[in-house]
Structure 1
Protein backbone atom coordinates (compact mmCIF):
# COMPACT_ATOMS: atom_id res chain seq x y z
CA UNK A 1 0.00 0.00 0.00
CA UNK A 2 1.26 3.34 -0.89
CA UNK A 3 1.63 6.06 1.72
CA UNK A 4 0.44 9.57 0.96
CA UNK A 5 3.20 11.98 0.16
CA UNK A 6 4.04 14.63 2.73
CA UNK A 7 5.29 17.03 0.11
CA UNK A 8 3.13 20.14 0.18
CA UNK A 9 3.39 22.68 -2.53
CA UNK A 10 3.94 26.24 -1.32
CA UNK A 11 0.93 28.51 -1.59
CA UNK A 12 1.32 31.63 -3.66
CA UNK A 13 -0.80 34.57 -2.45
CA UNK A 14 -3.48 35.11 0.14
CA UNK A 15 -6.96 33.73 0.36
CA UNK A 16 -9.95 36.00 0.04
CA UNK A 17 -10.77 35.59 3.73
CA UNK A 18 -7.26 36.73 4.76
CA UNK A 19 -7.48 39.80 2.54
CA UNK A 20 -10.92 40.69 3.90
CA UNK A 21 -9.70 40.39 7.51
CA UNK A 22 -6.81 42.78 6.78
CA UNK A 23 -9.15 45.26 5.06
CA UNK A 24 -11.56 45.21 8.02
CA UNK A 25 -8.71 45.78 10.50
CA UNK A 26 -7.36 48.70 8.43
CA UNK A 27 -10.86 50.18 8.23
CA UNK A 28 -11.26 50.03 12.01
CA UNK A 29 -7.87 51.67 12.53
CA UNK A 30 -8.67 54.42 10.02
CA UNK A 31 -12.03 55.10 11.66
CA UNK A 32 -10.37 55.65 15.03
CA UNK A 33 -7.27 57.58 13.91
CA UNK A 34 -8.58 59.97 11.20
CA UNK A 35 -10.92 61.99 13.46
CA UNK A 36 -7.96 62.75 15.72
CA UNK A 37 -6.00 64.19 12.78
CA UNK A 38 -8.99 66.25 11.66
CA UNK A 39 -9.41 67.63 15.16
CA UNK A 40 -5.71 68.49 15.36
CA UNK A 41 -5.93 70.36 12.04
CA UNK A 42 -8.89 72.45 13.22
CA UNK A 43 -7.13 73.16 16.52
CA UNK A 44 -4.04 74.35 14.64
CA UNK A 45 -6.15 76.64 12.43
CA UNK A 46 -7.90 78.14 15.45
CA UNK A 47 -4.56 78.73 17.19
CA UNK A 48 -3.15 80.38 14.04
CA UNK A 49 -6.28 82.56 13.80
CA UNK A 50 -5.86 83.73 17.39
CA UNK A 51 -2.16 84.39 16.85
CA UNK A 52 -2.79 86.38 13.64
CA UNK A 53 -5.52 88.42 15.36
CA UNK A 54 -3.25 89.16 18.30
CA UNK A 55 -0.50 90.35 15.94
CA UNK A 56 -2.84 92.52 13.84
CA UNK A 57 -4.61 94.02 16.87
CA UNK A 58 -1.36 94.86 18.63
CA UNK A 59 -0.13 96.65 15.50
CA UNK A 60 -3.42 98.57 15.20
CA UNK A 61 -2.96 99.62 18.84
CA UNK A 62 0.62 100.71 18.12
CA UNK A 63 -0.62 102.73 15.12
CA UNK A 64 -3.28 104.34 17.32
CA UNK A 65 -0.66 105.21 19.95
CA UNK A 66 1.76 106.73 17.41
CA UNK A 67 -0.96 108.69 15.60
CA UNK A 68 -2.57 110.44 18.59
CA UNK A 69 -5.55 108.11 18.94
CA UNK A 70 -6.38 107.75 15.23
CA UNK A 71 -7.03 104.24 13.96
CA UNK A 72 -5.65 103.17 10.57
CA UNK A 73 -7.78 104.45 7.65
CA UNK A 74 -10.03 106.41 10.05
CA UNK A 75 -13.53 106.67 8.53
CA UNK A 76 -12.53 105.14 5.19
CA UNK A 77 -14.30 102.24 3.50
CA UNK A 78 -11.49 101.58 1.02
CA UNK A 79 -9.48 98.43 1.72
CA UNK A 80 -6.36 99.77 0.02
CA UNK A 81 -6.24 102.75 2.40
CA UNK A 82 -6.22 100.41 5.40
CA UNK A 83 -3.69 98.04 3.84
CA UNK A 84 -1.34 100.92 2.98
CA UNK A 85 -1.64 102.24 6.54
CA UNK A 86 -0.59 98.85 7.89
CA UNK A 87 1.95 97.74 5.27
CA UNK A 88 3.61 101.05 4.32
CA UNK A 89 5.24 103.85 6.26
CA UNK A 90 3.09 106.78 7.38
CA UNK A 91 3.59 110.31 8.61
CA UNK A 92 2.25 111.67 11.91
CA UNK A 93 -1.10 112.58 10.30
CA UNK A 94 -1.56 108.96 9.15
CA UNK A 95 -0.92 109.63 5.46
CA UNK A 96 0.69 106.62 3.84
CA UNK A 97 3.86 107.16 1.86
CA UNK A 98 3.25 104.03 -0.19
CA UNK A 99 6.77 102.83 0.68
CA UNK A 100 7.03 99.28 1.97
CA UNK A 101 10.64 99.45 3.14
CA UNK A 102 11.07 101.44 6.38
CA UNK A 103 14.81 101.85 5.71
CA UNK A 104 14.48 103.84 2.47
CA UNK A 105 15.43 107.51 2.87
CA UNK A 106 12.57 110.00 2.88
CA UNK A 107 10.04 107.63 4.40
CA UNK A 108 7.34 108.56 6.84
CA UNK A 109 8.07 108.59 10.52
CA UNK A 110 6.09 105.48 11.44
CA UNK A 111 5.49 101.93 10.24
CA UNK A 112 5.20 99.69 8.46
CA UNK A 113 3.19 97.86 11.08
CA UNK A 114 3.04 94.55 9.25
CA UNK A 115 5.91 93.44 7.04
CA UNK A 116 5.40 91.88 3.62
CA UNK A 117 1.71 91.15 3.34
CA UNK A 118 -1.37 91.09 5.50
CA UNK A 119 -1.61 87.77 7.41
CA UNK A 120 -4.03 85.26 5.88
CA UNK A 121 -7.11 83.97 7.65
CA UNK A 122 -6.14 80.32 8.26
CA UNK A 123 -9.68 79.04 7.70
CA UNK A 124 -10.06 80.36 4.16
CA UNK A 125 -6.50 81.37 3.22
CA UNK A 126 -7.59 84.91 2.30
CA UNK A 127 -5.56 88.02 3.17
CA UNK A 128 -8.14 90.46 1.82
CA UNK A 129 -9.80 92.94 4.17
CA UNK A 130 -13.34 94.30 3.95
CA UNK A 131 -13.32 97.81 5.45
CA UNK A 132 -16.50 99.41 6.78
CA UNK A 133 -17.13 102.61 8.69
CA UNK A 134 -19.46 101.43 11.43
CA UNK A 135 -20.91 98.63 9.32
CA UNK A 136 -21.19 94.96 10.11
CA UNK A 137 -19.02 91.94 9.42
CA UNK A 138 -19.87 90.46 5.98
CA UNK A 139 -19.16 86.96 7.41
CA UNK A 140 -18.02 85.67 4.04
CA UNK A 141 -15.55 82.93 3.12
CA UNK A 142 -14.40 85.04 0.14
CA UNK A 143 -12.85 87.71 2.39
CA UNK A 144 -10.15 87.11 4.99
CA UNK A 145 -10.84 89.88 7.49
CA UNK A 146 -13.36 92.57 8.42
CA UNK A 147 -12.15 95.93 9.75
CA UNK A 148 -14.26 98.76 11.19
CA UNK A 149 -12.43 102.01 10.43
CA UNK A 150 -14.37 103.97 13.05
CA UNK A 151 -13.47 101.75 16.02
CA UNK A 152 -10.31 99.98 14.84
CA UNK A 153 -11.94 96.61 15.47
CA UNK A 154 -10.81 93.71 13.27
CA UNK A 155 -12.38 90.26 13.09
CA UNK A 156 -12.13 87.20 10.86
CA UNK A 157 -14.71 87.17 8.08
CA UNK A 158 -16.27 83.74 8.56
CA UNK A 159 -19.88 82.47 8.63
CA UNK A 160 -21.69 82.17 11.99
CA UNK A 161 -21.84 78.39 11.47
CA UNK A 162 -18.07 78.03 11.90
CA UNK A 163 -17.63 77.45 15.63
CA UNK A 164 -14.59 77.44 17.89
CA UNK A 165 -13.39 74.35 19.75
CA UNK A 166 -15.89 75.03 22.53
CA UNK A 167 -18.68 74.33 20.02
CA UNK A 168 -20.53 77.52 20.99
CA UNK A 169 -18.52 80.61 20.03
CA UNK A 170 -18.58 81.57 16.34
CA UNK A 171 -15.05 82.04 15.02
CA UNK A 172 -16.04 85.44 13.60
CA UNK A 173 -16.48 86.70 17.19
CA UNK A 174 -12.80 86.35 18.12
Structure 2
Protein backbone atom coordinates (compact mmCIF):
# COMPACT_ATOMS: atom_id res chain seq x y z
CA UNK A 1 0.00 0.00 0.00
CA UNK A 2 1.42 3.36 -0.92
CA UNK A 3 1.86 6.29 1.45
CA UNK A 4 -0.76 8.43 -0.29
CA UNK A 5 -3.40 5.69 0.06
CA UNK A 6 -2.75 5.34 3.79
CA UNK A 7 -2.99 9.09 4.36
CA UNK A 8 -6.20 9.27 2.29
CA UNK A 9 -7.98 6.53 4.24
CA UNK A 10 -7.01 7.98 7.63
CA UNK A 11 -9.52 10.89 7.78
CA UNK A 12 -11.67 13.42 5.99
CA UNK A 13 -10.36 16.07 3.70
CA UNK A 14 -11.01 19.75 4.29
CA UNK A 15 -13.46 19.84 1.39
CA UNK A 16 -15.50 16.97 2.84
CA UNK A 17 -15.67 18.68 6.25
CA UNK A 18 -16.79 21.96 4.65
CA UNK A 19 -19.54 20.16 2.74
CA UNK A 20 -20.83 18.58 5.98
CA UNK A 21 -20.77 21.97 7.75
CA UNK A 22 -22.68 23.61 4.89
CA UNK A 23 -25.31 20.85 4.93
CA UNK A 24 -25.75 21.22 8.71
CA UNK A 25 -26.09 25.00 8.32
CA UNK A 26 -28.80 24.56 5.69
CA UNK A 27 -30.71 22.14 7.92
CA UNK A 28 -30.43 24.55 10.88
CA UNK A 29 -31.68 27.43 8.72
CA UNK A 30 -34.77 25.40 7.88
CA UNK A 31 -35.50 24.03 11.38
CA UNK A 32 -34.90 27.08 13.63
CA UNK A 33 -37.62 29.34 12.12
CA UNK A 34 -40.12 26.49 12.36
CA UNK A 35 -39.37 26.06 16.07
CA UNK A 36 -39.79 29.80 16.59
CA UNK A 37 -43.13 29.80 14.78
CA UNK A 38 -44.26 26.83 16.87
CA UNK A 39 -43.44 28.74 20.06
CA UNK A 40 -45.44 31.76 18.87
CA UNK A 41 -48.35 29.51 17.90
CA UNK A 42 -48.28 27.93 21.37
CA UNK A 43 -48.42 31.38 22.99
CA UNK A 44 -51.40 32.41 20.86
CA UNK A 45 -53.14 29.13 21.69
CA UNK A 46 -52.50 29.64 25.42
CA UNK A 47 -53.80 33.22 25.11
CA UNK A 48 -57.02 32.00 23.47
CA UNK A 49 -57.42 29.36 26.19
CA UNK A 50 -56.90 31.89 29.01
CA UNK A 51 -59.35 34.31 27.40
CA UNK A 52 -61.94 31.57 27.06
CA UNK A 53 -61.54 30.51 30.69
CA UNK A 54 -61.74 34.06 32.02
CA UNK A 55 -64.73 34.98 29.85
CA UNK A 56 -66.60 31.85 30.98
CA UNK A 57 -65.91 32.73 34.63
CA UNK A 58 -67.09 36.33 34.09
CA UNK A 59 -70.26 35.13 32.35
CA UNK A 60 -71.08 32.62 35.10
CA UNK A 61 -70.52 35.29 37.76
CA UNK A 62 -72.87 37.62 35.88
CA UNK A 63 -75.55 34.91 35.63
CA UNK A 64 -75.43 34.28 39.38
CA UNK A 65 -75.11 37.89 40.58
CA UNK A 66 -76.74 40.08 37.92
CA UNK A 67 -73.62 42.28 37.76
CA UNK A 68 -70.10 41.84 36.44
CA UNK A 69 -67.23 41.12 38.84
CA UNK A 70 -65.48 44.27 39.99
CA UNK A 71 -68.59 46.43 39.60
CA UNK A 72 -69.50 46.08 43.28
CA UNK A 73 -67.49 45.86 46.45
CA UNK A 74 -65.97 42.53 47.45
CA UNK A 75 -65.35 43.68 51.03
CA UNK A 76 -67.44 41.54 53.34
CA UNK A 77 -69.22 43.36 56.17
CA UNK A 78 -68.98 41.51 59.47
CA UNK A 79 -67.06 38.26 59.51
CA UNK A 80 -66.48 35.40 57.12
CA UNK A 81 -67.57 31.90 58.11
CA UNK A 82 -65.00 29.57 59.71
CA UNK A 83 -62.47 32.39 60.19
CA UNK A 84 -62.11 32.91 56.46
CA UNK A 85 -60.35 35.85 54.85
CA UNK A 86 -62.48 38.72 53.54
CA UNK A 87 -62.20 40.13 50.05
CA UNK A 88 -60.40 43.49 49.91
CA UNK A 89 -61.51 45.14 46.65
CA UNK A 90 -64.03 47.93 47.21
CA UNK A 91 -64.82 49.19 43.67
CA UNK A 92 -63.90 52.79 44.56
CA UNK A 93 -61.20 53.27 41.90
CA UNK A 94 -59.56 51.28 39.11
CA UNK A 95 -57.00 49.54 41.36
CA UNK A 96 -59.66 48.63 43.94
CA UNK A 97 -61.98 47.46 41.15
CA UNK A 98 -59.21 45.21 39.81
CA UNK A 99 -58.82 43.72 43.31
CA UNK A 100 -62.60 43.30 43.64
CA UNK A 101 -62.59 41.60 40.23
CA UNK A 102 -59.90 39.14 41.37
CA UNK A 103 -61.55 38.54 44.77
CA UNK A 104 -64.99 37.93 43.30
CA UNK A 105 -63.67 35.41 40.78
CA UNK A 106 -61.26 33.53 43.07
CA UNK A 107 -63.18 33.49 46.37
CA UNK A 108 -66.62 32.37 47.48
CA UNK A 109 -69.23 35.12 47.14
CA UNK A 110 -72.69 35.86 48.45
CA UNK A 111 -75.57 37.15 46.32
CA UNK A 112 -74.37 40.76 46.57
CA UNK A 113 -70.78 39.96 45.54
CA UNK A 114 -69.09 40.17 48.92
CA UNK A 115 -66.16 37.75 48.91
CA UNK A 116 -64.78 35.34 51.48
CA UNK A 117 -62.15 32.59 51.33
CA UNK A 118 -64.47 30.05 53.02
CA UNK A 119 -67.95 28.87 52.13
CA UNK A 120 -71.25 28.44 53.94
CA UNK A 121 -74.93 28.83 53.04
CA UNK A 122 -74.46 32.60 52.53
CA UNK A 123 -71.19 32.45 50.58
CA UNK A 124 -72.40 29.74 48.22
CA UNK A 125 -71.25 31.07 44.82
CA UNK A 126 -67.86 30.49 43.22
CA UNK A 127 -64.97 30.41 43.15
CA UNK A 128 -65.08 30.82 39.41
CA UNK A 129 -61.36 30.34 38.84
CA UNK A 130 -58.98 28.45 41.09
CA UNK A 131 -56.27 30.76 42.36
CA UNK A 132 -54.01 27.90 43.44
CA UNK A 133 -53.76 26.74 39.82
CA UNK A 134 -53.01 30.17 38.43
CA UNK A 135 -50.71 31.79 40.97
CA UNK A 136 -50.85 35.32 42.31
CA UNK A 137 -54.44 36.61 42.68
CA UNK A 138 -55.79 33.80 40.52
CA UNK A 139 -55.61 35.75 37.28
CA UNK A 140 -53.69 33.85 34.59
CA UNK A 141 -50.72 35.46 32.87
CA UNK A 142 -51.16 36.77 29.38
CA UNK A 143 -48.59 34.57 27.60
CA UNK A 144 -47.85 37.28 25.02
CA UNK A 145 -47.09 40.10 27.49
CA UNK A 146 -46.09 37.77 30.37
CA UNK A 147 -48.21 39.90 32.71
CA UNK A 148 -51.27 39.09 34.82
CA UNK A 149 -52.28 42.66 35.73
CA UNK A 150 -55.86 43.63 34.85
CA UNK A 151 -56.58 47.23 33.83
CA UNK A 152 -60.22 47.87 34.76
CA UNK A 153 -62.27 50.50 32.94
CA UNK A 154 -65.92 51.42 33.28
CA UNK A 155 -66.58 53.16 29.99
CA UNK A 156 -68.93 50.61 28.45
CA UNK A 157 -66.77 50.69 25.32
CA UNK A 158 -63.56 48.75 25.86
CA UNK A 159 -61.08 49.45 23.10
CA UNK A 160 -57.35 49.17 22.85
CA UNK A 161 -55.94 52.60 23.48
CA UNK A 162 -52.55 53.76 24.56
CA UNK A 163 -52.17 52.88 28.20
CA UNK A 164 -49.49 54.15 30.54
CA UNK A 165 -49.83 50.89 32.45
CA UNK A 166 -48.32 47.80 30.88
CA UNK A 167 -50.80 45.05 31.66
CA UNK A 168 -51.82 41.58 30.68
CA UNK A 169 -55.53 42.19 30.35
CA UNK A 170 -58.17 44.90 29.93
CA UNK A 171 -61.64 44.52 31.41
CA UNK A 172 -64.77 46.69 31.30
CA UNK A 173 -67.00 46.32 34.38
CA UNK A 174 -70.04 47.72 32.56
CA UNK A 175 -70.05 45.26 29.67
CA UNK A 176 -67.98 42.37 31.04
CA UNK A 177 -65.72 42.51 28.00
CA UNK A 178 -62.32 40.95 28.72
CA UNK A 179 -59.47 41.25 26.20
CA UNK A 180 -55.71 40.86 25.98
CA UNK A 181 -53.81 44.10 26.55
CA UNK A 182 -52.02 43.78 23.23
CA UNK A 183 -53.24 45.53 20.10
CA UNK A 184 -52.13 42.57 17.97
CA UNK A 185 -54.40 40.15 19.81
CA UNK A 186 -57.32 42.27 21.09
CA UNK A 187 -59.64 40.63 18.55
CA UNK A 188 -59.37 37.11 20.02
TM-score class normalised by the smaller sequence: 0.7 to 0.9
SS at match of 2:101: helix
Output the aligned Cα RMSD.
Answer: 2.4
What displacement does 1:139 show? Answer: 6.2
What displacement does 1:173 show? Answer: 2.0
Tell which deviates more after alignment, 127-136 or 37-46.
Answer: 127-136
The answer on whether the counterparts of 1:126 and 1:143 sit within 8 Å (CA) in structure 2 is yes
Aligned residues: 155
* Structure 1: 5+ residue stretches without partners: 161-169
Higher helix share: 2
After superposition, give the CA deviation of every residue in 1:128-168 in whole Å (9 maximum; x if it has no partner). 2111111644567931111111111110111x3xxxxxxxx
* Structure 2: 5+ residue stretches without partners: 73-90, 132-137
From the superposition, tell whether residues 13 and 6 of structure 1 become closer, same or farther in structure 2 (CA, over 3 Å): closer
The answer on whether the counterparts of 1:139 and 1:157 sit within 8 Å (CA) in structure 2 is no
After superposition, give the CA deviation of every residue in 1:59-114 in whole Å (9 maximum; x if it has no partner). 100000000x20001174222111111111111001122x1xx5x55771211111
Matched, 1:39 2:53: no
- With normalisation by structure 1, the TM-score equals 0.77
Q: How does 1:3-82 map to 2 (within 5 A)?
A: 6=2, 8-10=5-7, 13-67=11-65, 69-74=66-71, 76=91, 77-78=94-95, 79-82=98-101
- With normalisation by structure 2, the TM-score equals 0.72
SS at match of 1:173: coil
After superposition, give the CA deviation of every residue in 1:16-75 in whole Å (9 maximum; x if it has no partner). 3222211111111111222222222222211111111111101100000000x2000117
Matched, 1:130 2:130: no
Identify the residue that residue 75 of structure 2 maps to in structure 1: none
Of the two, which has the highest radius of gyration? 1
From the superposition, tell whether residues 125 and 6 of structure 1 become closer, same or farther in structure 2 (CA, over 3 Å): same
SS at match of 2:42: helix
